[in-house]
């Protein structure tokens, strides 16, 4: 069993920054690909960013240049650095884990493990 716990969400003004963290336990973290998703009120969950076990990254077009995903394997933690935040970035952000990197951005319905989410609210 894999457990994922997100933290770092909160309320921030437009233009500000936040760093989300996702701490993993219960598996060989370094062999898993990790990703971030978000779900805004009334909208479907959407892909944000992914990182492979060896650091290859992939981003949704709408966050390229604004968000950065990174990981520290010995800490079993993945991060999402969010800059220049906009009100439309307001959502619950979820961490995900899977052995298969590509499904993070192609078949999220097949992802094995999810965190409980952390709320990010960007005020205008």
Give pLDDT tens digits along the chain (124 positions): 789 999 999 999 999 999 999 999 977 888 899 999 999 999 999 999 999 999 999 999 999 999 999 999 999 999 999 999 999 999 999 999 999 999 999 999 999 999 999 999 999 9
What span, in angstroms and rounded, lies between the C-alpha atoms of 94 and 39? Answer: 8
CB neighbours of residue 58 within 10 Å: 18
For the sheet containing 3-7, what is the strand order? 3-7, 18-25, 77-82, 67-72
The closest of 100, 79, 90 to 124, measured between CA atoms, is 90
**Residue showing tokens 């650091």:** 55
């Amino acid at each position: 069993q894999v457990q994922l716990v997100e933290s770092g969400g909160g309320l921030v003004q437009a233009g500000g920054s936040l760093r989300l963290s996702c701490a993993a336990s219960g598996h060989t973290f370094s062999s898993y690909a990790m990703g971030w998703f978000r779900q805004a009120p009334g909208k479907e969950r959407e892909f944000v960013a992914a990182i492979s076990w060896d650091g290859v990254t992939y981003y949704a077009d709408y966050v390229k240049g604004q968000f950065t995903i990174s990981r520290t394997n010995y800490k079993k933690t993945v991060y999402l650095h969010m800059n220049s935040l906009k009100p439309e970035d307001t959502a619950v952000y979820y961490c995900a884990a899977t052995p298969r990197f590509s499904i993070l951005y192609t078949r999220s319905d097949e992802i094995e493990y999810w965190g409980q989410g952390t709320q990010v609210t960007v005020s205008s």
